[in-house]
Amino acid sequence: MVKKALEGLKGVNRANVSLREKEAVVAFDSEQVTVGQMMDAVARAGFQASVKRPPPSAAPPTGR
C-alpha cells in the first residue's frame, strides 16, 4: 500500500518499503516531487511518515 502510494507519485523512481522495520527508502527526483508530497501520500495510505537522514558514514564522498 505504501510502496504503491509512493511509486504513484511523479518523480519517485523507486520505493523500497519494509512495514516490519517501519522504514521506506525512496529514490526520487527533487525537482519533480517534494518530501512533503511523499509524506502526504503515505498519510493517505493510512500510515505516518517522518524523515530519517542517513548516517554520515553513508554519505557520498565529497571528492577531497
- Helix ranges (DSSP H) in 1-64: 2-7, 35-44
pLDDT, tens digit, for every residue of 1-11? Answer: 999 999 999 99
Bridge partners of residue 62, in order along the sequence = none
Contact 30, 56 (CB under 8 A): no
What value, to the nearest 5°, has the Cα angle with vertex 58 and ends 30 and 64?
90
Instruction: Map residue 23 onto helix, strand or coil.
Output: strand
pLDDT digits (tens, 9 = 90+) for 5-46: 999 999 999 999 999 999 999 999 999 999 999 999 999 999
Q: So where are the chain's domains?
A: 2-52
User: What does the block give as the cell for 44?
Assistant: 493517505
Indicate the pTM of the whole model: 0.78
Q: 2-52 has which CATH code?
A: 3.30.70.100
